[in-house]
Chains A and B, each alone.
Chain A
Amino acid sequence: MTNTEMMTKFPHLGQASDKHLTHEPPDFRHEDWKYTHFPQFQQYKIQLPSALSQDDRTPLSVPKIPLGDDTWIVVVKNGVIQPNLSQLPDPSSGISIRSLTEADVQHSEESGLPFGALAMKHGHYFSQWAMAQHAAGLFIDVKKDVVAQKPLLIQTINEITEAKQVLPCHHVVRLAPHSSLTLSEILEGDGAGMSLSVYEIHVGIGANLKHNQLQLWANSQECIQQVLVAQERESQYAHFAYCSGGKKVRNQLTVSQEGQMAHTELTGLVLPGRNEHLDNQTLMRHISPNCSSRQRYRSLVGHEGTSVFNGKVYVDPAAQKTDAYQHHASLLMHESAVSNAKPELEIYADDVKCSHGATTGMLDAGEVHYMRSRGLSEIQARLMLQEAFVRDLLESLPVESLRSWCLNHCVERLHDLNRLTD
């Protein structure tokens, strides 16, 4: 139903290319939704972004992270930009940030902006559903040759009080040729509803986008997110995901390298705790020659936590000389922890270098013992080893202040997970 609905609504966007698209929420019989599905989704009610009264600032925990004047900040609460809490870039900076409306999508043809096209082509059921529901969000536009002078931070706070309520969002990020931006996001909230977000990201010729997402959902919240990226030639896209909470989270990252010599770097650190189910899926679409990609994901799964990783590398017949690497490692901290992984290679070109690896295990007892024999307590030893497991991935987070904040958060989280384990 949704695909048709989206097509009817936005006829200029063409047809969906995914023939597996379902007309109802996909269930466990659908390969991509085997481990994570939302059987009651059809009963969910839509909560459209509602304006927040100007003086209602108390629930906002900004700034949690000491970023200072070195950062542009956009605060978005329940889908609406909060101007007086934000420090938006000056128009002279070459970077514009504004709300995206349905009208933008409706008239994207005239404006020459590709709103909706990626979601139509590669969006899954829920993304297309969100589009069909007039989802609004942000439009971030970086002009040609502009190298952003400061990192940009978007702080998203979703407080959907009731369960089975869903807040759909649609964000578009466009980097014109040879521009460069570091875009970080902190996603958090309270309540019991679901955040459903679609990102359409266009990285122009020779442009460079570093995209960091820190998901700190409360463990009563649900999230479905799809980040759709189209990369032009010689562009670079790096995505860093830190997922540390959520009742049921499904993140999908779909990156298409549409021009030669593009490089993609996907990194993820996933820490599901008690009754948390965190699912990260990647689809790396190598459709042009001479491109490369590198994916590294690690999960540290606590007591009654579940981690799902499904990473696919697709190499089109045209994508000769592709160099693709993917690795997923998962560390189970408790006997009730579950890890489901499905690293896939789908390759149609012969002159390629593709490899993937996956490991699952627990901390090495020998290592723990060795450290204890040097006088550390068992918990100290374990924490130290767990920290080592996550630390070098954190190095991929390019913003120093965010990185140290994230490391602290991670260590605290590990303390919690270990406490629950004992």
Chain B
Amino acid sequence: MLLEIENLRASIEGKEILKGINLNIPSGEVHAIMGPNGSGKSTLSSIIAGKDGYDISGSIRLDGQEILDWEPEIRSRAGIFLAFQYPVELPGVGLSSFLRACVNERRKYLGEPELDASAFLALMREKAAMVELSQELIRRPVNQGFSGGEKKRNEIFQMAMLEPRMAILDETDSGLDIDALRIVAEGVNKLRHAQRSMLVITHYQRLLEYIIPDRVHVLMDGAIVMSGDRTLALTLEEKGYDWIRAEQEVSS
């Protein structure tokens, strides 16, 4: 099992947001988490990546190792990648020098030699082409002056550069028009790999038409209330989240 989440609870300023999440993602699988606004989807992705400020209990294991007390950069170097829902801008920090430092940190961690400038540039060119990110954007500071769609493509580009084991895509589809969505999804599909798992967090079924998940989980009020194959996403699309609420009431 690549990622194991066990009875994960999280609260912020006394308010409980995650109320006991259990989730296992085997290597090579793509899982989707769907849920209405405020269900805790983004909190879950932030906590896996190591964001500060939550009171947490439970367990998150990567390859069987507990990671909850790891700093975010160690989690990253170990292979956890989060494509942010709202990528921040880094004024004045050039995208290529930023990524070069990031890639080499990961390589050092893995015991691989650092990439020299020309090897890095070649890699960057190749991966940028994959998500149709122009060379002009690569020369700019990270996300500065990028459109919403460009920022999202930049996240997938960085994912391609860092070659993570466990990629989390937090509402990568939000704010994208249909063409941008296609480009992003194609990029993600190219990165599917037997050694790489993905957790796709989304509000709508639309993205899952492009990125076909192995499993779909429904997150409501901080807990996973239903899991199934991809048809669950279609049912949700058709019947809405109220349907699940109704089901829940019946079963309780």
Chains A and B touch (C-beta atoms under 8 A apart): no
Q: Which residues in B have some Cβ–Cβ distance to A below 8 Å?
A: none
Q: Which residues in A have some Cβ–Cβ distance to B below 8 Å?
A: none
